[in-house]
Structures are given as C-alpha cells and as structure tokens.
C-alpha cells in the first residue's frame, strides 16, 4: 500500500505550502506523465552545490582533488538510496503497477531519484535556504565522519585495509564490460565485499579508474550504513 505524501512530509520534518510538489517528487515516470524527473534534475544540482559548499568550509586546507573525492563519496546513488531506505521512502513512491510488482520501489535508482526530486520540490516551495538546511541535516553525520587522515591513500587501498583489519576476504573486482575504441574506452567494474550483500559498480576510462570508483562508492556505503571509515 502506498502511503500518503503528507505522512512522509511529517517524517522528514518538512511542510509543503504546495503539497502537489511533494506528490510529484514521489511520482515515478511509470505512474504519470507528471513525474519527478525534472524535479530530480533540479535537486541533483542543488545537492551537489550544498555539499560542495559545506566541504569547502569544513576543509579549508584540502585541495580540489580531495574535495571532489569527498563529494563523490557523499553524493552518489548508493548513499542517497541508503538515506531513502532509512526514511522508508519506498513506501511512499507512486509507481505504475508493473513497476511496483517488479520491486521498483526498492531500487537504488528510484530511491535516489526521489530523494533528489524532493530537494528540487523543496527549493521551489520554500527557497534555497530551507533546502540547504534540510540537506545538511540529512548529511550531517556523514560529513562529520569525514577526515583528512589517510586521504592520500587511494580508495582501493583504504577499502582493502578495512577488510584486512576485520580479518575478512579482500574485495573482489570483476570486469563487467569494456566498450569503445582503444583511445576512448569505458570500463565497468563490479566490486563485492563481505560486509555488504549487494554489488557496487564503478566506471572509468581505464580498468584501474573503474575499480577506484567502485571502491570509493563502497567506502561511502560503509560510512553511511555501517559508520565505518
């Protein structure tokens, strides 16, 4: 049963002057032509800016590369989906019957898109400051757990050290696909670790870069879901 959007608003600590904006933010394209993709586009941009601004303030001595890695570890499909699951957002998604039956309300993509769409709806309803405040509440703990210590180590090394410290098997990297011409290739790599049940995929112009991205995403999951850094 799909729950009413106003119940979600209370759970999120939000109030919408125009409740239809929240309803649209929760509406998947399978349910209605008035779906959430435009709001998701807006929210994605706002989220990236707010998190980047906060990281810029928190780490005044960090260079652009470190700040970019921090932002990537926070703003990604997996981390947004984890926040959405903690809020039981899937119970409120408005989807077509086929999408519901196939478990679409549990997919990372649908959950993360809806989170960003809510951010877009909030900025339209109440302005940038209200949206910034809510985003920083959502990401407060994850941002506070970030540290410049060991940031010179690449994501694969840090992930490997986490597993070794717990006496667990090392991460498993699997090549899923390799496309493009020799001078312009795209690699997709899957990575699985014993601490999480599902597989995370990374992409890059080389196998190494794809593996690093997958490791970075897993580190974000560990930080968000298990508070491991």
Nearest to 131 by CA among 218, 24, 7, 44: 44
Angle formed at CA 193 by CA 188 and CA 174, multiple of 5 degrees: 30
What residue has token string 């790599």? 189
What residue has token string 């959502």? 138
Measure the CA–CA gap between 218 and 81, rounded to whole angstroms.
13
Q: Mark whether 184 is an active-site residue.
A: no
Beta bridge mates, 190: 174, 201
Residue 108 labeled ligand binder: no
Catalytic residue among 20, 32, 37, 44: 44
Residue 191, helix vs strand vs coil: strand
Beta bridge mates, 192: 172
- Joined together, the tokens standing for residue 5 give 């959007």
How many Å is the Cα radius of gyration of the chain? 18
Residue 113 labeled ligand binder: yes
Longest dimension (CA), the chain: 53
Catalytic residue among 116, 211, 213, 216: 116
Residue 61 labeled ligand binder: no
Q: Mark whether 116 is an active-site residue.
A: yes
Measure the CA–CA gap between 59 and 147, rounded to whole angstroms.
9
| Other residues' Cβ atoms within 10 Å of the Cβ of residue 180 | 10
- Residues annotated as part of the active site: 44, 116
Annotated binding residues for Mg(2+), written as ranges, equal 40, 113, 116
Annotated binding residues, written as ranges, equal 40, 113, 116
């Amino acid at each position: 049963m799909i729950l009413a959007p106003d119940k979600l608003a209370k759970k999120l600590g939000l109030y919408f002057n125009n409740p239809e904006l929240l309803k649209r933010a929760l509406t998947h394209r399978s349910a209605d032509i008035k779906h959430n993709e435009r709001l998701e586009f807006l929210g994605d941009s706002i989220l990236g800016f707010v998190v980047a601004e906060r990281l810029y303030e928190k780490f005044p001595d960090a260079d652009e590369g470190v700040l970019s890695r921090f932002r990537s570890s926070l703003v990604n499909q997996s981390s947004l989906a984890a926040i959405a699951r903690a809020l039981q957002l899937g119970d409120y998604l408005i989807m077509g019957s086929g999408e519901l039956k196939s478990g679409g309300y549990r997919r990372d993509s649908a959950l993360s898109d809806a989170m960003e769409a809510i951010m877009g709806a909030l900025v339209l309803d109440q302005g940038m400051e209200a949206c910034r405040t809510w985003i920083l509440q959502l990401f407060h703990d994850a941002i506070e757990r970030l540290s410049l210590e060991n940031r010179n180590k690449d994501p694969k090394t840090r992930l490997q050290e986490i597993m070794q410290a717990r006496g667990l098997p090392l991460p498993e990297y699997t090549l899923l696909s390799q496309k493009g011409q020799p001078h312009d290739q795209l690699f997709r790599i899957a990575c699985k670790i014993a601490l999480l049940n599902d597989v995370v995929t990374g992409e890059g112009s080389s196998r190494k870069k794809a593996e690093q991205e997958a490791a970075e995403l897993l580190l974000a999951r560990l930080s968000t879901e298990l508070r491991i850094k």
